[in-house]
Amino acid sequence: MDRAVSSDPHLLFEEWFAQARQSEPNDPEAMALASVDADGRPSARMVLLKGHDARGFAFYTNSQSRKGGELAANPQAALVFHWKSLRRQVRAEGRVEPVPSDEADLYFASRSRDARIGAWASDQSRPLQSRAAFEARYEKLVEEFEDKEVGRPSYWQGYRLVPDRIEFWTDRPHRLHERRLFTRAGEGWTEGLLYP
């Protein structure tokens, strides 16, 4: 079934992602995002996929966070989806670019009001004196935004990983797994297999 769409890894990803939405008990859109700082020190964290198409994989965060700083210093990253229920994973590597402001505005507006206020309240990745201090800051902002629209902060933005490599991994008996690698070739893709 997968072979029918093997010329386009984005179509294959959409097929697998649809299956994951049906089978994963929690957060099928969760992906590990790995980045490196200006000194080459790596870090990884879980983020949520908020958009996918032929342009790549979109996610949103505070641009002043650790990951935002790392992506500014080195706009190359990798991501991994692991769908245990399907015994599959997808890995992608490539450059990261900001999504257009209008696209970020639309996504931010789709979030709950509480989540939008939370984006204003959090100095993501910076030291926090206490949980109580954060909650007090949040409550103060709830009051400040009362009867007002909660617009997107300038530091909250979207990023898109534009892949040049996408690997589809399928568990097989006896650890004889199947690994299909798509590599960007001009405007298209080439496909090959990797040893497990």
Please list the active-site residues: 175
* Residues with Cβ within 8 Å of residue 63, at least 6 apart in sequence: 72, 155, 156, 157
Residues in the chain: 196
Scored b (16 or more CB within 10 A) or e, 78-94 reads bbbbbbeebebbbbbbb
Rounded CA separation 130/3 (Å): 52
SS3 content of the chain, % helix, strand, coil (to 5): 30, 35, 30
Question: Where does residue 104 fall: left (phi above 0), alpha (psi -120 to 50 degrees), or beta otherwise?
Answer: alpha
Rounded CA separation 87/132 (Å): 41
Largest CA distance in the chain: 60
Rounded CA separation 81/88 (Å): 8
Q: Which amino acid is at 175?
A: R
